[in-house]
Amino acid sequence: MLIGLALTVAGWSATVVTTRYSMATPVLPVTALATMAVIVVITLILGIRVLRWRNSTKRKKALDPILAARTLVLAQACAYAGTVLLGWHAGIFLDQLRIWNLRSDQGITWVAVAVAGGGLVMIVVGLLVERFCRIPPEDTDAGSDDGKNSRGVRGESAGEGEYAYRGD
């Protein structure tokens, strides 16, 4: 949220400055939506692969740990990139909104809205695929009092911060 808010302010400020000096509005072109869609689709495909392996009861082979790690990193990068794009273009939209009635061409405003929407989709898909990469909690030991898994990962309690990739 903090990153998105900071970039909203930055996008708004950049638009104010470029408008003041009669420069082009710093908005991505509509073709960026195609690139964003490709990134979202690839992230989803890799995430679904990890999810299928995780939910499979009959695992014929182990999941490649490099694939799982790369999928997790791609999902996190997708969410962060979506936050940056959403924040920046929301700032542009806010600046363009105040002069909405004065402009004869609102094309830039709609492009900013479209790219911000694409950023929102990237955030949702990134966070969803991150959830796909989480290892489900294992059954607790019968003698365990606290109900937590006895096995931890580098000092963390089980179920918190564990992903399909284990760097052990």
Contact 88, 6 (CB under 8 A): no
Mean per-residue pLDDT of the chain: 82
The predicted pLDDT at position 65 comes to 85
* 66 domain residue, yes or no: yes
Q: What is the pLDDT of residues 103-147, one digit of tens each?
A: 656 778 889 999 999 999 999 999 999 999 887 666 444 444 554
* 153 domain residue, yes or no: no
Q: What is the mean pLDDT of residues 30-57?
A: 93
- Residue in the structure block whose two tokens are 């030991």: 141
Token readout for 34 is: 């195609």
Q: What does pTM read for this prediction?
A: 0.76
β-sheet bridge partners, residue 163: 134
* 158 domain residue, yes or no: no
* 21 domain residue, yes or no: yes
β-sheet bridge partners, residue 156: 153
Cα distance between residue 45 and residue 2, in whole Å? 29
* 161 domain residue, yes or no: no
* 160 domain residue, yes or no: no
Segments in 21-166 forming alpha helices (H): 32-55, 65-98, 107-132
The single-letter code of the amino acid at 117 is: G
**Number of independent structural domains in the chain:** 1
* 138 domain residue, yes or no: no
Domain residues for 70?
2-55+62-132
The predicted pLDDT at position 42 comes to 97
